[in-house]
Amino acid sequence: MSFSLRPVLLWGAIFLSGIVFGYIVTQYTSTSDDAAKPENESVSMTDSPLVSNAEINAEDILLEQGSDGTLDWKLQARTASYDQDKKLVVVERPQLTAYFGKDRKEVYVRSDRGEVDQKNDNLTLYDNVDGRFGMFSVKAKNFDYVGAIDKVVIKGGVTVARPDLEVNATAVEIDLLSREMVAAGGVSAVVSTSAVSVEEELEQ
């Protein structure tokens, strides 16, 4: 009895090709699903450690604050960075120029460092505070400008001086509207009689 091997080999080749084709289709489908997964997932940028730990820095900055078309204050600084935890701008070598009253009296203050809360119109300058308020010069460790109540609070070894008077205190509060100055804590005052005499002579 004789038979041909060709049909058997043909069916075997077809069967083997089917197995290989099925394996290829399965692998391609699995790979496509894996590649599509990231597109379907929602990824928040704030979850990225690169973004959450990023620092926003700037050099030679100028911040301005005003209301009703009038400039209330401007602050220049050598460098600035944003503190995301405190929601404040931290500045180095700040110089503050503020204006108050109907006659736009000027306040100028500089320090080594500072913090700006522009949203609430608050400024804090600290370390080697040096400035002027009208005819007064000011030296202290800490200077707080509270725009919401139009007041300045100066703290830490405060010295407020003019040609005929020097006041030393732990803290001094200045009302920018009434221009009233209140000193507290170890207050001492030195009056320069020579300056008073010179002023009297000039008036005569």
Binned average pLDDT, 10 residues per bin, the chain of 204 residues = 45 49 48 45 34 56 84 91 87 92 86 92 94 90 91 94 92 88 90 56 42
- Return the pLDDT at 128: 95
pLDDT of residue 59: 78
pLDDT (0 to 100) of residue 194: 58
Ramachandran angles phi, psi of 38, nearest 5°: -60, -30
Tokens encoding 138: 């000011």
pLDDT of residue 150: 85
Residue closest to 115 by CA, chosen among 131, 133, 96: 96
pLDDT of residue 177: 82
